[in-house]
Structure 1
Amino acid sequence: MGGALLIAAQSGRALAQAARRAGLRPCVADLFGDEDTRTLAAASRVMPGWFGRGMVAGAVLDALEALASEAGETIGVVLGSGFEDDPALVAEIGRRHRLVGASAEAVAALKDPFAFAHLCARLGVPHPPVAAGPVDDPSRWLSKAVGGSGGGHVGPATGPLPEPGHYLQARVSGRPYALNVLAGRDGVQVLAVTAQWCAPSPSHPFRYGGALAYAAAEPHPLPASLIADVAAAAERIAGATGLRGLASADFLCDGAAWWLTEINPRPGATLDVLDRRPVPLLAAHVEACLSAGPPMHPGAPPVDAAASAICYARIDHAPVPAVAWPEHIRDRPAAGSTVRRDAPLCTVFATGADGRSARAALDARTGRLRMALNENTKDEEARV
């Protein structure tokens, strides 16, 4: 494919890695400037901001302008996580650069919780009720930040009214999954249904932990008919909002019933476990967003299973020691940098013949990493 691609995200490493696999030159602006991100990027900038709390608009725009000037002619800009709460910023980026992904209008339609709930009701998609309050029994509700990402913004409702910038969503039962899709002008292609789990902390009980993509020949834990229903719902929503490119539909399922909780209109945290097909997924994403024709098919899924997880620091690393990071450790903090307790330390990746063995390998690798970094405390991360 060739060419320079601007990337802006809270963490840009996975997108930079996917861009390199697609034959592109990534120019990355993110909050971390991890060791492997800087290695992958043709140019990079570290922006101010707070993981899980949105982006600083002026810093994003300045960083992208600087990268565009350094890169010369670019294909456009791909946005990762961190922009869901600010469609106006997405629109401004789109005025200055070509967006390769969801439009500002699509982001607004999908990430405004009340507009999204209304859309789901109109399209017949099961979705937990939402409220601005007051509610009679707060224990039956969760508090979520408008446009939040990563699960760290989710917690039990503490009163009948949400805090400013938050809303209430009714609690529903079920395990978390994500339907990962490639959306084009003529519909969506389902890439995988990944299982997800939380890595709870005392202040962030629903913090995102990791994701598992099952092996191609492995029986999926969810019925095929249920997956087809979720896929049909995602297709209706994509058609109604004009969603393009890689995206994911998060849902909860108790084995029989399911509830769509949100649509992430961007390449997501599952990129590491999914981008292992013959056609690079970011090449397919660019084609789906910029071409007038149907998106290219990424090819057959990999035979084996894959899992990745965010490893959150259990102690302060101030500074991070010099470490010979193994290949399966990604988002590697630079030696001498500071990573505070409960902040993302790195990402761990593993494969296996099936989902169970991939998750076991992932846990073993995470355990060895924690021992090497003297984080020998009890593992509290929830299992799939």
Structure 2
Amino acid sequence: MVDLFGDADTLALAGRHRLAAGRFGAGRLDGDALLAHLDDLAATGPTPLGIVLGSGFEDAPDLIARIATRHRLLGASADAVAALKDPIRFASLCERLAIPHPAVTRGAVADPKAWLLKRDGGSGGSHIRAATAAAPPPGAYCQARVRGNAHALAFLADGRDIAAVGVTAQWSDPSRIRPFRYGGAVEQARDATPLLPPALVAAVTRAAAALVSATGLTGLASADILVDGGAWWLMEINPRPGATLDVLDRRPEPLLSAHVAAHLGRLLSVGDVPVDAAAARICYATTDYAPVPPLDWPDHVRDRPRAGSPVARGAPLCTVVATGRDASDARAISQARADRLRARLGSQGVHR
């Protein structure tokens, strides 16, 4: 495995690991260094089944293409990512398919308050800012503001059609300079009131299927939407396994197995929605941890930073998961757990 963090729980599970250079959300990865890591891992152990890409590649279809020439890619192709993550191409595709999507432009806007500034291929919400009167800088664009609550439909795609996996609701955890920073996600319990009306979910499912047919997307992906009453807008397609895995991967069929099968042309049934709700919350560092101390991490904490590693203020510290009788309960429990964790770290005197 190659990633930017080398978290303790990742290292405990990974047979082999290489630490990539860079900072999450800061832009393009070093392609040459990444390819060298992948080549090294492939050459020093059992022959890998293939490469599954996570976040960080949405603005780099050229790098995806380079990886695909040297390793078997299990998931979205470079062409599919280019079609779905170029904001102008994606908006045009949505218009052609009659999918509701906010207007976008690379030019200056007359009323900046009605627009947001976003980075091409950005993820996690930290790249989103209020627009200004100036034209967007290279690699950025303006998107019209629309009202609504954030949700996502996770689905499996085989290049022609999709199989829905689950619906989640998202929330933001804004900071002073990152007002749209991703906070977490929750999946509703099986017998509780659904997060979205079935008719709306069906409409989003049809839209996602149309986009898959048009782009040849394969693997596990998600459609991010904003919902305002009966109206909805498709904000983007994330052409990869995403952050909602922490709440969705509770089915009888592991979602990574279903991802690989979908890429190979088989849409597996992953099973019913679990009986309880689940939430996953990003716990951001409220101060600099230099370094993170040895800690007996609770079982409900994922992405645990290694003891001795630094975590900068505002960076993701870990992920806290929780289950509950319904979505509201699970979300509240995750918040309480995050608060207790921050207090515990603060009492250790490891911040500066």
TM-score range, shorter chain: over 0.9
Partner Cα distance (1:186, 1:149) in 2: 25
SS at match of 1:259: strand
| Counterpart for residue 245 of structure 2 | 271
Aligned alpha-carbon RMSD (Å): 1.2
Once residues 155 and 375 of structure 1 are traced to their aligned partners in structure 2, the CA distance between those partners, rounded to angstroms, is 34
**1:44 aligned to 2:21?**
no
Does the 8 A contact of 2:167 with 2:195 survive in 1?
Answer: no
Shift of residue 159 of structure 1? 2.2
- Asked if 1:314 corresponds to 2:286, the answer is yes
Sequence identity (%): 56
Select the residue among 329, 347, 372 that pairs with 2:319.
Answer: 347
Q: Which amino acid aligns with 1:48?
A: A
Q: Which residue of 1 aligns with 2:157?
A: 183
Find the residue that maps to 2:229 and give its secondary structure. Answer: coil
> How far does the alpha carbon of each residue in 1:320-357 deviate from its partner, in whole angstroms, 9 at most, with x for none?
11110011111101111100100110010001111111
Question: What secondary structure sits across from 1:63 in the alignment?
Answer: helix
In 1, the alpha carbon distance for the partners of 2:160 and 2:183 equals 33
Q: SS of the residue aligned with 1:74? A: coil
Deviation at residue 222 of structure 1 after TM alignment = 2.0
Structure 2 counterpart of 1:353, which letter? Answer: R
Match of 1:152 in 2: 126
Moved over 4 A (4+): none
Instruction: Tell me which amino acid in the other structure corresponds to 2:253.
Output: V
Equivalence for 1:201 = 175
Cα displacement (A) at 1:185: 4.3
- 2:182 maps to a residue whose letter is Y
Aligned to 1:31: 4
Q: Which runs of 5+ in 2 are unaligned?
A: none
Match of residue 285 from structure 1: 259
CA–CA distance in structure 2, aligned partners of residues 178 and 55 of structure 1: 26
What code does the residue aligned with 2:19 have?
V
Amino acid aligned to 1:213:
E
Q: Shift of residue 184 of structure 1?
A: 1.9
Describe how 1:89-104 pairs up with structure 2 within 5 A: 89-104=63-78
Point out where structure 1 has 5 or more consecutive residues left out of the alignment. 1-27, 377-384
* Deviation readout 1:289-328 (Å, 9 max, x if unpaired): 124xx32211222111100011110000001111100111
Q: Could you tell me whether the CA contact under 8 Å between 1:330 and 1:347 is conserved in 2?
A: yes
> Are the equivalent residues in 2 in contact too, given 1:195–1:211 (CA < 8 A)?
yes
* Counterpart for residue 340 of structure 2: 368
3-state DSSP of counterpart to 1:374:
helix
| 1:244 corresponds to 2:218 | yes
**Given that residues 315 and 375 in structure 1 are in contact (C-alpha distance below 8 angstroms), is that contact kept between their aligned partners in structure 2?**
no
User: TM-score, normalising length from structure 2?
Assistant: 0.96
Secondary structure class of the residue paired with 1:351:
strand
- Measured in 2, the distance between the counterparts of 1:212 and 1:300 equals 16
Q: 2:346 is paired with a residue of what secondary structure?
A: coil
Aligned to 1:115: 89
In the alignment of these two chains, the number of paired residues is 347
2: CA distance, partners of 1:375 / 1:225? 49
